Structure 1
Amino acid sequence: MKHIYTLLLLIISLPSYSENLDSKVETIENHIENIINCGDFRNFYSEKNLRRSIQYIESQFALNKIKTKKQTYKVKDTEYHNIIASIGPQNSEKIIIGARYDVAGEQQGADDNASGVAGLLEIARILKKNESRLKYNFELVAFTLEEPPYFRTENMGSYVHAKSLSDKKEK
């Protein structure tokens, strides 16, 4: 609950960062278009399209000089990857913000969840511009395998990530 209050306080305090908020609707729309155009469908059947999504996400973090790492895990002999970016003081309390880049079935997924990834990328850009003022470490994670047949299983990217933090006793 403490983390929810912290995030709410952060959002409320965003007007103090307003001089660095030059976000444009076109930027968000561009992210969504690029993500949905990573191939026919970004589901667990299409490793190629998931890799294209990863390349786009990593390239956008890199444009803003944000380093990423892959959290790789295997499901049925296939490797899948969460993409993790970290912004802010490394030794401070961590706030995790995530969105998933896969889709359910055969859909483009603009609103489920390319828009979430677009928001994640824009949040990352804004946080990076204000990094010297941050009191928390923000871990931005693009998750995979959040949809059926892996939804609500230990193979979900968010589960894998949360478990890794728990195993390391991170808060």
Structure 2
Amino acid sequence: MRAADDADFREFARARALTLRRTAYLLCGDWHLAEDLVQNALLKLYRVWPKITRRGPVDNYARQVLLRCWLDESRRPWRRRERRDGVVPDQPTSSPEAGISDPLLRALAEVPPKQRAAVVLRYCAGLPAAEVAEVLRCSEGTVRSQAARGLETLRGVLEHSAERSA
């Protein structure tokens, strides 16, 4: 890679790492895994950096790579094995940095992956439906339906947890 491309990538990574990390956290619910996902996504971006920068802005592509890293990681056999009993030891509370409450974060973890991705990108990251559709590689109608279903699931989980605690 040329020195100019390398410097351009470093600037991109410096400017977008926190935003990508927050998005990854909202997808997976674990700060350590979020950092790993961002690192993997940045590595993949670095490998193709000269090629993708010729096509224009890379923000959506970066989110797409991050999303694919998260989906790949969630399919790994050891991730399924870790969650067998449903109890996570020493579960940390969410930090104010996340900008999301603990009950909402737990409810978000109950939403299926593609619906969660649509909800996180659409409502937490504040992206328009067209950009979310580009990241998820689907139509805007699919984004709207996935987000609506995800919000419906969130409401159901939150209502159920409110009934249990009452």
Greater strand fraction, Structure 1 or Structure 2: 1
The alignment's TM-score, normalised by the length of structure 1, stands at 0.29
Greater helix fraction, Structure 1 or Structure 2: 2
Higher relative contact order (CA 8 A, sep 6+): 1
The alignment's TM-score, normalised by the length of structure 2, stands at 0.29
* Pair member with larger Rg: 2
